[in-house]
Structure 1
Amino acid sequence: MIKQDAMRLLRFKFMQQSDKNQSGNVGFAEFLHYVREHEKNLCLQFSHLDRNRDGKVDLEELISAFKDLGLDIDVDEARKLLTRMDKDGSLNISFNEWRDFMLLAPSTDIHDLIKFWRHSTADWRGQEWLQSPSIMYQEKEAPRVRYLDIGEDMNVPDDFTQKEMQTGLWWRHLVAGGIAGGVSRTCTAPLDRIKVYLQVQTTKMGISECAQIMLNEGGSRSMWRGNGINVLKIAPETALKFAAYEQMKRLIRGEDASRQMSIVERFYAGAAAGGISQTIIYPMEVLKTRLALRKTGQYAGIADAAAKIYKNEGARSFYRGYVPNILGILPYAGIDLAVYETLKRRYIASHDNNEQPSFLVLLACGSTSSALGQLCSYPLALVRTRLQAQAAETITNQKRKTLIPLKSSDAHSGEETMTGLFRKIVRQEGLTGLYRGITPNFLKVLPAVSISYVVYEYSSRALGIKMS
């Protein structure tokens, strides 16, 4: 542990180098200038350690460099120094690791830097030094909204910091998000069921008329049909998507595990993770649609529905609509991520000193980007739902005698494929038919986001996460 007098000396040197206008605190512009200049010096010092110029410093290079500087260290101490700076467990130090560790060590002399390295703790940046009242720039955890649940399953997962991964905070975030998602989906389930019902109708029908049909057929409890499995699939879906996303990030980053990924790289990783998780849990998506459209008494529960669908239609029925669902991930994830990042950057650029957006601002950005993503991918989602509902009948409309457009009699028609169904919808219902049911889908976004936010905040506190 760095002693208090050494800590005060470091603070004094830092203020000397960074506080150019002698105001007694360090503004963002001054800090940015310090970082740029100090990074150049750190790059030069790193090159002295990296003897073979491969961009990494291993154990032998470290011992040799110390010896040239007149410092004798044994293998055990050298290994401890490596471990202290090595974030990815590779037993060598990249420039990014060297820079991140030394960035706030206010010295240009290699001997001072090494002295700092040898006498600091593994988490020397951890908040005692940064939280000095004389230093205005402090390290904060960024507000998180990307995993807040609004009932859709194609969002790009959130990026967790190295500290969150090491301390286990990541699973608390996921659990809090899962709880918020379950409550949010349950509260907005009636709107979701209306959306599904309207998606499979070939004739125009209003929301109130659709709701009345469902109430007359099954009562108020019928408005929550399909919600049970919709909530149950949150846990496996979140876990699979998170695990797949982390693996894809490792593949994309390669050897430089600490570098920040670009938006395009995050899109690739997120789309791949979404595709993997959706492939595994897709049978639950089909069950959700069938349970939402079932008539009273048709299924006794989730297990009964799965058994009857398998017996009557075979295993392939659990992957009806899989292709448009996977294709829908690309426009949804791409537009959602691009719009979110664009809105966030415009906010930062329009405010003084690059002010970081608050949690509520990010929440608004996330809601807007998700809504646009849904708008662009909705035709694929509608075709997916109709394919999932094949061979199943909906509630009979007492006034119109309207049934689901794809009955069992269509099972072997050429229009049960994705492209065939697209052509059929456009031919019979027009382009607006591809957006049937989108109104209740948008109506649920605002309450879903609001409920997710409130429940997530209380869940986070209960799990020991401090909200930013």
Structure 2
Amino acid sequence: VLDIGDSLTIPDEFTEEERMSGMWWKQLLSGAMAGAVSRTGTAPLDRLKVLMQVHASKSNQMNIFSGFKQMLKEGGVVSLWRGNGMNVVKIAPETAIKFMAYEQYKKLFARDKQNITTAERFLSGSLAGATAQTIIYPMEVMKTRMALRKTGQYSGVGDCVKKIIKHEGLIAFYKGYIPNILGIIPYAGIDLAIYETLKKAWLNKYAQDSANPGILVLLACGTISSTCGQLASYPLALVRTRMQAQGKMLIFQTVLFMPL
């Protein structure tokens, strides 16, 4: 089950007219709302992904069917959405920080503000992603811990925070930070390079007189490029999730999700 990688993507470009009119705020808000809906819809798969990343091993051959079976048995249908609340809450600050940082990095690195090169966009986007992740990373750890929790382990987010600080210290909120930041580089680089290459190839062959390939073509290019970026950065994502999950309850939880 692949991570969708939305936290690693390079922010969208906005025209000068959109910036001056304030339309970009509406687009960011719309994107955050759409992200909340899509993450809620895919939350069961996202939790299954986390469980498989942390608990699957040679002795515990967890798959999609056994994973769902164990989740339903341990906590019922509602347990499929564990961790989704934190996943939704972090959308707004992460999106806003990433966009504002991206604009500042572009001003810093771009030689021609009206014609930003792919390399300049990659550098600005990677640094913007790293900046946003640095600030909201404790929420990433909280999302993972809440997704992995057993029934009754935490009474809520506040209780989870208190127990982590008490037993592991503040440093626990940055477990897995290094592989997470390192994962931005291959993901953003491959995603952007393949996306731009596919889009230009399509325009050169089928629409030489137009700069707009259409939404379906852009969607196809984005899907292919994002998948390639995920395949390249996934080992780092796996290390990140396992480090985030490290805690005193990990051994018990691993036993809990062993197949019967």
Compute the TM-score of the two structures, normalised by the length of structure 2.
0.92
Shift of 1:347: 0.9
Residue 247 of structure 1 pairs with residue 104 of structure 2: yes
Change (3 A) 1:224 1:188: same
* Secondary structure of residue in 2 paired with 1:329: helix
Correspondent of 1:265 among 105, 108, 120: 120
Residue 338 of structure 1 pairs with residue 199 of structure 2: no
Partner of 1:214: 71
* Secondary structure of residue in 2 paired with 1:353: coil
Amino acid at match of 2:36: G
Distance 2:172 2:257 in 1: 29
Correspondent of 2:7 among 121, 133, 153: 153
Report Cα offsets for 1:109-145 as digits up to 9, x if no partner: xxxxxxxxxxxxxxxxxxxxxxxxxxxxxxxxxxxxx
Contact 2:175 2:244 in 1 (8 A): yes
Partner of 2:27: 173
Contact 1:156 1:274 in 2 (8 A): yes
Shift of 1:354: 3.3
Contact 2:207 2:213 in 1 (8 A): no
Report Cα offsets for 1:401-429 as digits up to 9, x if no partner: 8xxxxxxxxxxxxxxxxxxxxxxxxxxxx
Correspondent of 1:310 among 165, 169, 181: 165
Distance 1:398 1:281 in 2: 29
Correspondent of 2:138 among 276, 283, 291: 283
Distance 1:160 1:191 in 2: 32
Distance 1:375 1:335 in 2: 10
Shift of 1:397: 3.7
Q: Which has the higher contact order (CA 8 A, sep 6+)?
A: 2
Partner of 1:374: 230
Distance 2:179 2:165 in 1: 22
Partner of 2:81: 224
RMSD of equivalent CA atoms: 1.6
Change (3 A) 1:397 1:270: same
Contact 1:293 1:395 in 2 (8 A): no
How many percent identity over aligned positions?
A: 56
Shift of 1:308: 1.0
* Secondary structure of residue in 1 paired with 2:208: helix
Contact 1:347 1:357 in 2 (8 A): yes
Residue 194 of structure 1 pairs with residue 48 of structure 2: yes
| Higher CA-based Rg | 1
Compute the TM-score of the two structures, normalised by the length of structure 1.
0.52
Stretches of structure 1 that go unaligned for 5 or more consecutive residues are 1-149, 402-468
Distance 1:151 1:379 in 2: 13
Shift of 1:365: 1.1
Shift of 1:151: 5.7
Change (3 A) 1:167 1:397: same
Change (3 A) 1:346 1:161: same
Residue 327 of structure 1 pairs with residue 178 of structure 2: no
Q: Choose between structure 1 and 2: higher helix proportion.
A: 2
Distance 2:126 2:256 in 1: 39
Distance 2:259 2:68 in 1: 15
Distance 1:246 1:197 in 2: 36
* Secondary structure of residue in 2 paired with 1:160: coil
Residue 390 of structure 1 pairs with residue 246 of structure 2: yes
Partner of 1:236: 93
Contact 1:151 1:181 in 2 (8 A): no
Contact 2:202 2:213 in 1 (8 A): yes
